[in-house]
Amino acid sequence: MGEEAKRYAVVTGANKGIGFGICKKLASTGGVVVVLTARDEKRGLEAIERLKKEFGLSDDSLLFHQLDVTDPPSVASLAAFVKTRFGKLDILVNNAGVPGGVVNGENVLRRLSTSPRIVNVSSAMGVLKHIPNEWARGLFEDIDNLTNQKLGDVLREFLKDYKKGSLESKNWPIVVSGYTMSKAALNAYTRMLAKKFPNFRVNCVCPGFVKTDLNENTGFMSIDEGAESPVRLALLPDDSPSGQFYSVDEIIPF
């Protein structure tokens, strides 16, 4: 296969868990070159070696680059690497769990590819019915007028009330509150990106209750099972839906 026919993918937070499984599946797909990223270089390189040794993946389909999505210089370094090495980026799977990291990924994709896919690995905990605060829910729902600034305003207000111990009195989620709010913001950001860039395929997906370190392996799905839905969305054809929220394989309301 010629270089021009290959697709290039970046998976964030991929040294273990669902991100690791996504890299395995994508790199096993013919014609896809995957950049596995992780904050810790040692762990990332160990993940690469494991994928190559245990699953027979080659240097041509899988490589590593350090990435901390909360660190702008780290993001810039990855962007420069992708541009120099490949000249384009076709797929971004945002699995690292920090919604702010997608902003720079969006800019990279806009510069380097004409019809890319962004897949945000999210959670059904982030659907708006779990957000009792009417002001926050209203901003998240108003996609036509939603901005990065407004998303930040909601999260800053939530964090202020969290520090004050005022979550319940201010109608914020009180069960896994930070997780719920971050996922709700990520879901809203997904819709905002899909509207802003109609040539992109931008979707988010709850992969199911997967056994990972995050839940102390209490899930009932394997890593391979959890990776199936994100990979399917990453490989969607150009005429596929965008701005949707999938729970495994089913589109559900935000």
Hey, how many other C-beta atoms are within 10 angstroms of the C-beta on 159? 12
CA of 254: how far to CAs of 63, 103, 150, 232, 251, in Å?
Answer: 35, 20, 18, 20, 9
In the residue annotation, 162 being an active-site residue is answered as: no
Task: Find how far residue 207's CA is from the centre of its chain.
Answer: 11
Q: How far apart are CA 64 and CA 193, in angstroms?
A: 27
Instruction: Tell me the torsion sign for CA atoms 17, 19, 23, 29.
Output: positive
Which one is catalytic: 8, 179, 189, 246?
Answer: 179
Burial class (CB in 10 A: 0-12, 13-18, 19+), 246: buried
Task: Find how far residue 160's CA is from the centre of its chain.
Answer: 26
Which residues, 6+ apart, have CB-to-CB distance to 238 below 8 Å?
Answer: 115, 201
CA atoms lying within 13 Å on the CB side of residue 114: 1
**Catalytic positions:** 179
